[in-house]
Amino acid sequence: MDTHTTVEDLLRSPALQLRVVAGERGLGRSVSWAHVSELGDPTPWLLGAEVIMTTGIGVPRAAAAQRAYLERLDDAGVAALALSAGLHVPPLRRAFLDAAEERGFPVLEVPLAVPFIAIAQEVAAAVQEDARQRLGAQLQVFGALRWLASEGLDTAGLFQRLERLSGYAIHLSTPQGRPLLPGVPAPPPGVRLPASADAPPTIPGGFALPVPAPGGPAGWLVAFERQGARPAGLAVVQHIATVAALRLAMVRSRRETLRRQGAETLAELLQDVLDPETARRRLALMGLLPDVEVVLLVARDAEDDAVVGALGEHPTSCSAGTATCTC
């Protein structure tokens, strides 16, 4: 257990005598806690990476309901389900076992002679060993705002450093799945973003958190555990989401300043009140060089805020022969 505790580490403990019933492919999942629950749906009270221990009272009997029960736990980021042998566990249906295999979700059997408290103590001891490393990572990540002020890091450099310190691969996206900040990739295709900001933060392999902004979330931060790294936990990812929100506010503020300057320059050009040298200098500051073709787009009968918001997701870009400017 030299980096973080996994389900496989618990299986290796001779005192626990655990047996894999299904989902062996997921034995590498991280474990942050072990908790007893007899609820049919404990997910609203979970943070992720828990081993859920149950005597089986909350496990449904019907095949479809069993599969749905397992899928809820997996979607909430539960590390494994530990079922006590010989108590209230109903017969496990093929649909349940197939789902565990398909998802790589470990289902374990706990001998009746092994009390649940023994598993909880084993996990707690391992988590305590890892707590010092997590605290160090948290303190360093909390220094991100100082880096912005003192080192002038660009967005890509800032989030690369946060990735190294946190142990997560970081992605940022708009609600539509496009990149939220330049230099930080959107989540890979196939990653399902949460339906709302109130959704549980845990997703398979990491966390998904809203990036706060006035009027509602600006997008999502998705953090996946990096193989071989030491993930620093949800508190650090929450702080990174706050850093992303502050960085986004800075980018939007600069973009709004450029938009106003661009609007003023365009108005003066249309009124023919700028001398050619001043016009060239202003356009050059905006990245519009003399040999670059400029296309002016006029939108009629549209809500100004909607147009500006849509164009705001696509920052100014220039190529060898053309330029697109949001103004």
Average pLDDT across the chain, whole number: 82
CB under 8 Å to 48, separation ≥6 — which residues? 32, 76, 77, 78, 200, 201, 202, 207, 234
The mean per-residue pLDDT over the stretch 255-263 comes to 81
How far is residue 229's CA from residue 30's CA, in Å, rounded to a whole number? 12
Could you tell me if residue 1 is inside a domain?
no
DSSP 16-28: T--EEEE-GGGTT
- On the question of pLDDT at 287 being above 80, the answer is no
Q: What is the pLDDT of residues 189-201, one digit of tens each?
A: 888 888 888 888 8
Residue range of the domain that includes 266? 257-324
How far is residue 156's CA from residue 189's CA, in Å, rounded to a whole number? 21
How far is residue 310's CA from residue 237's CA, in Å, rounded to a whole number? 28
Residues 190 and 263 occupy one common structural domain: no
Total domains in the chain come to: 3
Residues 241 and 218 occupy one common structural domain: yes
> 80 - beta bridge partners?
51
Residues 82 and 157 occupy one common structural domain: no
The per-residue pLDDT for 216 is 85
Residues 152 and 186 occupy one common structural domain: yes
pTM > 0.75: yes or no: no
Residues 183 and 199 occupy one common structural domain: yes
Q: What is the pLDDT of residues 122-153, one digit of tens each?
A: 888 777 666 556 655 665 666 666 665 566 67
The per-residue pLDDT for 313 is 53
Residues 65 and 89 occupy one common structural domain: yes
Q: What is the pLDDT of residues 219-247, one digit of tens each?
A: 999 999 888 777 777 888 888 998 899 88
